[in-house]
């Protein structure tokens, strides 16, 4: 009889076949006298959707059919992989198979993949579990030793937790999304208010931070710095407020901040005239311990900070390093410790490390640094997985980013064994007029310890207080000149400056800081040990947090602006509605963290499945009940000071809009994806129009655009008024008032709603005028002044205009050029890139494709003035650029994820913003998937859009 081994993906099945005796391939599986080895391709089975349960009842979203709570959750094969499921079901039914070994990924999700396949196939075979921590041949063989294969009973807790996670997400997601979508959007097609057990509390963190920033009131304060001179040189000191006591109620208060300008100026006056300063100083030794080994969240956080990688991309790279290259241990872990019996393995791994890490690894071995240490080897801090470390496998051909992530992991592994870094801290107090103290601090690294692994020879303030010290660039602290006997403990005040500053709001979340917030369920904890203690109550798991963030962006709840994450008006509207209907339970990170904690208890058989699901059902019913029965009571609406033009009465603010009391005018708070602030509504009502305003979002392409807003009579409802967007496209040239006339040509420059328009007389044209040129009054969030528009007309080029904002939220400077009837950009020379030694470094320039050898297809409907070309490996859209050189504005590879892309699909995407559904893409994990290609927001590339499950 034989054992059937089911891996999670084909590449793993191939690795198992090689490691377990070079099992030969037979059809679509591997087989010898002992094993039959096959695999899934990720998830093959899913829960039935409501329309699968009862299409007539649940096919259309109706409030009266909610909540949907199945008495038993049934399963179905996923359509795109049903052939693979059928193949596994056939193998499970073979008469010569007497057991099945689950070799899916060692975690909750891997357990779910196997459990659902086994259940839907209705197999009765006994099950054992292979728990692989590394994908090296030795690691695989160790996992398949008889004594290490786990029984089904040992895995029952993990299987229950996996089912509960899946079913809880179904209950909360399906019921919450249907209820909230119907109440928020009614019958408006295309609008979905998606909610989830993890995604909504995560979104609440981002929205709460945005409101904190928006409502922040800045306060002015003053700082004083002084330059002192002694025999060995000069140094700077910062004024310290006397009798300062930390005020927990005011987090912005600091010892060096003065809140009263007069008091600051009085101190400054006392320091004028180069008075002498009495100098005292204190020296003390300090140490800094090496940072702990990586878990997935910490790796994602630091890769985002250091390399700018998204959490999802970091996970993909780590998975490739583990699965494809066999160079690191299992990455989807929340542990930062190793098993206590892992010391011999670590020594072997250190011995195998190559490159510039090898000398440091050899030193760790030679000096006996690898020894029992509870910060590194601690059975109490590992569960089914341990920290991410190298495996010692030979170095492979890694791409640039894979090499950088591997170096982070390997360098952290070596550094963890090294002794603490030691340094001397000198604190110097320079006192002017016997009462004004100025503090200066200098640090000198006396023993680099673990910092040597990172090539550090000095230490600065960040590295002394930041466990991620190694990620800061090499930098030396400002040298503090030493006092000598000749100074007689005195210094001369050379200069004193008063700095006017202001408090700043907290920064927006980046992926790095949001991962930290998710990890601690919203309670931001900087101390590593405290963070470990709270980890089991976090939002989601290390393996799912990246997908949660990407999902929120995909659903248009968040946007990436550079590295910052900011919520959209859709997100704020959802959170506001949840609050009003009393469904805040969905937004509470601590409650969701508590659920995650219970799932972890369940994995270890310390919490029952029935109890957990009963709690989830109760929460689901409560959310649906409150949402269904909510009625907006306009009698409690806030009365504003905005006077309506329809009845001369103050308008009222409701949940979604500002309304006149006679009901004739309704101004929604969100118009075409842009939130309209109350001050803007006040101006709109008073003047009848406002703008142009930037930040409106096209629902079709996702592109931002400027527009005016106007209040007009509603042609469909007599006596009613409405707000419309005015793009300035339909302009009666004869009705415009000129603001400038060209003395040479007589052409007149006029202000239209969104543009400056240049017109000239033409009796044959409608109204006797024709347009010869126009330029936007607002471009890339920067108002274009009239004098620059005139210069553009007369000279063909503006002055350098500063602080445009790109589509990625980055500021840039540029000239505007007039090229006939269109606008072009000219950018100033980029500042030279400076290396670590302070010297200029030549920038790498990417060679532009040679379009002379490309096939010209035709115009691109998505790019005005753009031409579509087909090269040997890409589809490219180019526009005329500087010096008549083609400027590439769009590029799409002809092969994406092992799928050849047809020209007709690209043409449809450029015409409609979306291709037909394309089948047969292959992911990096070997799973097949179907997707649409959609034009990205910036129209520079193609993105995936996935069909609804």
Contact between 782 and 805 under an 8 Å Cβ cutoff? The reply is yes
What is the reported pLDDT for 526? 45
Give me the CATH code for the 2-43+78-148 domain, please. 3.40.50.140
Contact between 299 and 515 under an 8 Å Cβ cutoff? The reply is no
Peptide bond into 291 cis (omega under 30): no
Q: Domain residue spans in the chain?
A: 2-43+78-148, 170-216+509-623, 220-289+422-502, 296-417, 634-726, 733-828, 851-945
Q: What is the mean pLDDT of each run of 10 residues along the chain (949 residues)?
A: 91 89 90 94 92 91 92 93 93 94 88 95 94 82 90 92 93 92 73 87 92 91 95 94 89 94 94 93 92 94 90 90 88 88 90 91 95 91 84 82 94 96 93 94 90 78 39 45 91 94 92 86 50 59 85 89 87 88 81 82 92 93 89 78 92 88 89 87 91 78 80 88 82 88 92 88 86 89 92 92 81 89 85 63 63 87 88 88 75 89 92 89 78 88 84
* Collapsed DSSP state (helix, strand, coil) of residue 283: strand
Query: Cβ contacts of residue 71 below 8 Å, gap of 6+?
Result: none
* Collapsed DSSP state (helix, strand, coil) of residue 37: strand
What is the reported pLDDT for 534? 45
> How does strand 97-103 pair with strand 2-7?
parallel
Backbone angles phi, psi at 846, to 5 degrees: -85, 125
Annotated catalytic residue: which of 35, 58, 116, 330? Answer: 330
* Collapsed DSSP state (helix, strand, coil) of residue 649: coil
Where do the H-state alpha helices sit in 835-929?
903-912
Give me the CATH code for the 296-417 domain, please. 1.10.290.10
Sheet bearing 748-751, strands edge to edge? 738-741, 748-751, 755-761, 769-776
* 668 noted as active-site residue: no
What's the fold here for domain 220-289+422-502? Topoisomerase I; domain 3 (2.70.20)
Closest residue by Cα to residue 132 from 298, 32, 24, 13:
13
CA pair distance 316, 402, nearest whole angstrom: 10
What is the reported pLDDT for 600? 86
Between helix 311-323 and helix 400-417 the angle, nearest 10°, is 80
Give me the CATH code for the 170-216+509-623 domain, please. 1.10.460.10
Contact between 759 and 736 under an 8 Å Cβ cutoff? The reply is yes
> Quick one: 259 exposed, middle or buried, by C-beta within 10 A (0-12, 13-18, 19+)?
middle
CA pair distance 378, 335, nearest whole angstrom: 10
Q: Do domains 170-216+509-623 and 296-417 have the same CATH topology?
A: no
SS (H, E, C) 189-210: CCCCCCCCCCHHHHHHHHHHHH
Closest residue by Cα to residue 479 from 240, 233, 225, 836:
233
> Which tokens go with 602?
């369940």
CA pair distance 354, 344, nearest whole angstrom: 18
Closest residue by Cα to residue 886 from 937, 852, 846:
852
């Amino acid at each position: 009889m034989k054992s059937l081994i089911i891996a999670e993906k084909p590449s793993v099945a191939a690795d198992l076949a090689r490691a377990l005796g070079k099992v030969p391939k037979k059809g679509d599986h591997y087989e010898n006298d002992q094993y039959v080895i096959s695999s899934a391709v990720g998830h093959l089975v899913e829960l039935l959707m409501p329309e699968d349960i009862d299409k007539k009842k649940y096919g259309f979203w109706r409030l009266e059919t909610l909540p949907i709570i199945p008495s038993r959750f049934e399963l179905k094969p996923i359509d795109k992989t049903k052939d693979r499921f059928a193949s596994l079901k056939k193998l499970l039914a073979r008469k010569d198979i007497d057991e099945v070994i689950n070799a899916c990924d060692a975690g909750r999700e891997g357990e779910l993949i196997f459990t659902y396949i086994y259940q839907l196939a209705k197999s009765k075979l006994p099950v054992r579990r292979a728990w692989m921590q590394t994908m090296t041949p030795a690691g695989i063989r160790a996992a398949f030793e008889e004594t290490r294969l786990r029984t089904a009973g040992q895995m029952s807790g993990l299987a229950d937790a996996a089912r509960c996670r899946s079913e809880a997400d179904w209950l909360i997601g399906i019921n919450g999304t249907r209820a909230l979508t119907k109440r928020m959007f009614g019958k408006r097609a295309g609008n979905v208010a998606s909610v989830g057990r993890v995604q909504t509390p995560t979104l609440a963190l981002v929205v709460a931070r945005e409101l904190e920033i928006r409502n922040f009131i800045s306060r002015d304060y003053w700082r004083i710095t002084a330059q002192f001179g002694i025999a060995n040189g000069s140094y700077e000191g910062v004024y310290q407020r006397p009798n300062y006591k930390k005020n927990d109620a005011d987090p912005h208060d600091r010892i060096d901040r003065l809140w009263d300008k007069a008091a600051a100026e009085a101190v400054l006056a006392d320091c004028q005239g180069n008075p002498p300063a009495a100098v005292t100083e204190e020296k003390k030794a300090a140490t800094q311990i090496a940072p702990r080994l990586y878990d997935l969240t910490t790796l994602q956080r630091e890769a985002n900070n250091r390399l700018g990688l998204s959490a999802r991309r970091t996970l993909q790279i780590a998975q490739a390093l583990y699965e494809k290259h066999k160079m690191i241990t299992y990455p989807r872990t929340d542990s930062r410790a190793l098993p206590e019996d892992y010391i011999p393995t670590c020594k072997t791994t250190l011995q195998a490390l190559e490159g510039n890490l090898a000398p440091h690894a050899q030193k760790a071995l030679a000096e006996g640094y690898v020894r029992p240490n509870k910060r590194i080897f601690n059975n109490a801090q590992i569960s089914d997985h341990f920290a991410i470390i190298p495996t010692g496998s030979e170095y492979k051909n890694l791409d640039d980013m894979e090499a950088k992530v591997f170096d982070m992991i390997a360098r952290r592994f070596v550094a963890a064994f090294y002794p603490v870094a030691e340094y001397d801290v000198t604190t110097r107090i320079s006192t002017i007029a016997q009462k004004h103290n100025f503090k200066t601090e200098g640090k000198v690294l006396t023993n680099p310890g673990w910092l040597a692994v990172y090539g550090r020879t000095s230490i600065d303030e960040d590295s002394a207080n930041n466990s991620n010290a190694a990620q800061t660039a090499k930098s030396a602290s400002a040298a503090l000149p030493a006092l000598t006997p000749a100074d007689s403990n005195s210094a001369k005040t050379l200069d004193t400056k008063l700095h006017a500053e202001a408090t700043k709001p907290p920064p927006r979340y980046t992926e790095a800081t949001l991962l930290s917030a998710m990890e601690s369920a919203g309670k931001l904890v900087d101390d590593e040990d405290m963070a470990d203690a709270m980890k089991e109550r976090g939002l989601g798991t290390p393996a799912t947090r990246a997908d949660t963030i990407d999902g929120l962006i995909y659903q248009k709840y968040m946007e990436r602006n550079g590295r910052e994450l900011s919520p959209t008006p859709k997100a704020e509207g959802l959170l506001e509605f949840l609050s009003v209907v009393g469904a805040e339970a969905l937004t509470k990170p601590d409650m969701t963290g508590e659920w995650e904690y219970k799932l972890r208890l369940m994995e270890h058989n310390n919490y029952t499945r029935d109890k957990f699901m009963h709690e989830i059902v109760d929460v689901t019913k409560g959310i649906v009940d409150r949402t269904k029965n909510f009625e907006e009571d306009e009698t409690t609406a806030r009365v504003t000071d905005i006077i309506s033009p329809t009845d001369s009465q103050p308008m009222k603010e409701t949940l979604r809009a500002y309304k006149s009391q006679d009901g004739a005018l309704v101004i929604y708070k969100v118009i075409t994806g842009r939130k309209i602030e109350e001050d803007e509504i006040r101006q709109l009502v008073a003047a009848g129009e406002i703008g142009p305003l930037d930040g409106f979002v096209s629902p079709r392409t996702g592109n931002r655009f400027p527009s005016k807003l106007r209040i007009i009579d509603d042609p469909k409802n007599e006596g009613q008024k409405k707000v419309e967007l005015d793009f300035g496209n339909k302009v009666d040239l004869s009705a415009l008032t000129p603001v400038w006339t060209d003395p040479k040509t007589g052409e007149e420059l006029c202000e239209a709603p969104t543009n400056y328009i240049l017109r000239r007389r033409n009796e044959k044209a409608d109204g006797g005028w024709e347009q010869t040129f126009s330029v936007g009054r607002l471009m890339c969030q920067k108002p274009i002044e009239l004098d620059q528009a005139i210069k553009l007309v007369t000279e063909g080029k503006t002055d350098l205009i500063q602080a445009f904002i790109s589509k990625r939220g980055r500021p840039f400077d540029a000239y505007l050029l007039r090229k006939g009837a269109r606008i072009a950009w000219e950018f100033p020379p980029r500042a030279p890139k400076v290396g670590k030694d302070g010297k200029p470094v030549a920038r790498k320039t990417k060679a532009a494709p040679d379009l002379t050898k490309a096939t010209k297809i035709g115009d691109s409907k998505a790019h005005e003035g753009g031409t579509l070309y087909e090269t040997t490996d890409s589809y490219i859209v180019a526009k005329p650029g500087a010096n008549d050189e083609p400027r590439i504005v769009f590029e799409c590879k002809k092969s994406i994820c092992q799928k050849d892309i047809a020209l007709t699909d690209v043409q449809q995407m450029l015409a409609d913003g979306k291709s037909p559904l394309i089948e047969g893409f292959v992911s990096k994990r070997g799973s097949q998937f179907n997707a649409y290609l959609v034009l990205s927001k910036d129209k520079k590339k193609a993105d995936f859009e996935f069909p609804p499950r």
